[in-house]
Amino acid sequence: MGLAFYVWDIGVKRGDIQVLGAASYSAPLLSTAILVLTGYAAYSNILLVACLLITGGALLAASDLLFRPKTKSSPSPD
């Protein structure tokens, strides 16, 4: 747990906070998938809906990153 906080701190200080925030949505999704795959949790439709809501939240959080317009670089003056 301490390592997770340390890495998060580095990401906040040196990384792109918007990417970090959007990527943080993957933690509950990955942990749930691991629990289901290892047999510690049972698959259900409610679980599927929850995963879809998490994915929707991640897409919403990353919408500026995913759908930002492509900008052309201006030509350099000679």
Spell out the residues 6+ positions from residue 61 whose beta carbon is closer than 8 angstroms to its own. 18, 21, 22, 25
Instruction: Round to whole Å and give the CA distance between 6 and 2.
Output: 6
pLDDT of 36 reads 92
**What's the chain's average pLDDT?**
82
pLDDT digits (tens, 9 = 90+) for 38-75: 999 999 999 999 989 988 888 887 777 777 766 665 55
Reply yes or no on whether the pLDDT at 27 is more than 60: yes
